[in-house]
Amino acid sequence: MVMSIDNVRGFALATSSSAFIGSSFVIKKIGLKKAGDAGVRAGSGGYSYLYEPLWWIGMTAIGIVLHAPKEKKIDSVNEIWHLATQPGFIVYSCMAVIVALVLIFWVVHRTEQRKMLAYIAICSLMGSLTVISVKAVAIALKLSFNGVNQFIYVPTWFFIVVVIICCLVQLNYLNKALDSFNTAVVSPVYYVMFTILTILANMIMYKDWASQNATQIATELCGFVTIVAGTFLLHKTRDMGNTQSESSSLRGDCELENH
């Protein structure tokens, strides 16, 4: 099978994006740890990480990949506004906001065991809305630079406000997750949840399934199953490692007591 230039470019972009995402989580984690040593940790509600250069380097690298515009050709902000005001996407947007609010004001304060998942779910829900809005803002900037001012339209400013609010919420709860839990677990879980919700939002808004055949849909589903299975195994392996370490520690304590 001969690979087209688009396949090669897609492979290169996928590889580089994985490198950006992985390295950005590690850099941000280091920045958060350094900031926590000098002030209140992000997991405890602190924001001292904003003064840490390493955190900003990591944030720039995650931001480049996750909020890149998608491939579907859109020629104006009003076109995106028309798609965003369709019943299907309005229902999705309302559900995403409601679920995020429930997680923020109820779940996060009532459970410790599932706090990581709550943090990541908030980030992912807001992220799926951010991607759509970022694309609208990017198109507005592009058209405005070409002489067609898009900032005279209300939808442009609406999308800008959505981007600002959603990004602030994402930053806050992603930093709480990274500061409070293992990066090796946070990173893949966030990747899976963010990717699924973003693709779902785009499918609802752009009706992508209408242009795909059964083979393409089956391939995408297999990819999702692989990613989810890998994340599950990573989480279980980590738990097994912790259990083995605890068992070894207990055996060591027992031997010392016997001696």
Contact 160, 86 (CB under 8 A): no
| pLDDT for residue 69 | 39
Domain-embedded: residue 236: no
Contact 149, 85 (CB under 8 A): no
| pLDDT for residue 246 | 47
Angle among Cα 152, 155, 156 to the nearest 5 degrees reads: 60
Domain-embedded: residue 51: no
Domain-embedded: residue 8: no
Provide the number of structural domains found in the chain. 1
Domain-embedded: residue 64: no
Contact 128, 194 (CB under 8 A): yes
Phi/psi region, residue 45 (left: phi>0; alpha: psi -120 to 50; beta: rest), is left
| pLDDT for residue 135 | 86
Domain-embedded: residue 192: yes
- pLDDT band, residue 84 (cuts 50/70/90): very high
Domain-embedded: residue 55: no
DSSP-H helix ranges across the chain: 5-38, 53-66, 77-84, 87-102, 108-110, 115-145, 154-180, 183-206, 214-258
In whole numbers, what is the pLDDT of the chain averaged over residues? 74
Phi/psi region, residue 147 (left: phi>0; alpha: psi -120 to 50; beta: rest), is left
- Which residue matches tokens 């370490």? 245
- pLDDT band, residue 127 (cuts 50/70/90): very high
**Which of the 8 DSSP states describes residue 104?**
I
Would you say residue 257 has pLDDT above 60?
no
Domain-embedded: residue 70: no
Q: What is the pLDDT of residues 12-24, one digit of tens each?
A: 766 666 566 656 6
Q: How far apart, in whole angstroms, are the C-alpha atoms of residue 134 and residue 136?
A: 5
Q: What is the pLDDT of residues 212-242, one digit of tens each?
A: 677 767 776 777 777 667 666 666 665 554 5
Task: Quote the radius of gyration of the chain (alpha carbons, Å).
Answer: 21
Task: Please give the C-alpha separations between residue 239 and each of 140, 186, 191, 231, 233, in angstroms, as whole numbers.
Answer: 47, 14, 20, 13, 10
HSE-up of residue 5 (Cα within 13 Å, Cβ side):
0
Which residues form the domain of 84? 76-208
Proportion of the chain above pLDDT 90, given as a percent: 24
Q: Which one has a higher pLDDT value, 140 or 207?
A: 140
Q: What is the pLDDT of residues 156-177, one digit of tens each?
A: 999 999 999 999 999 899 888 8
Full DSSP string of 205-256: HH-GGGG--HHHHHHHHHHHHHHHHHHHHHHHHHHHHHHHHHHHHHHHHHHH
